[in-house]
Amino acid sequence: MKRVHLINARKNHGWTQAQVAEKLGITPSFYGMIEQGSRNPRLPLALAMEKLFGIPASELFPDLFNTQKPNKMFGKLEQQPKAG
């Protein structure tokens, strides 16, 4: 899934993928994979992108930050037997 917000942020600054990668200290191919959604940045890199583009990481990476998956751990709690 392409990360449209990330791609648009880069294009709005008039930067190439190679220029952004250089600013972030990563390879252009890795940055391209992040834009295409085939690789995910770790939190420090996502926060560096947030600072670079001036856009919250949650907007740049809605697929990582705004998941609506239910948390199975808290879904159904088992009843504990009452102490007697």
pLDDT at site 68? 59
The confidence score (pLDDT) of residue 1 equals 86
DSSP state letters, the chain? ---HHHHHHHHHTT--HHHHHHHHTS-HHHHHHHHHTSS---HHHHHHHHHHHTS-HHHH-HHHH------HHHHSPPPPPPP-
pLDDT tens, 16-28?
999 999 999 999 9
Which domains are seen in the chain, by residue range? Answer: 4-65 (1.10.260.40)
The predicted structure's pLDDT at residue 66: 73
State the Cα–Cα distance between residues 46 and 40, nearest whole angstrom.
9
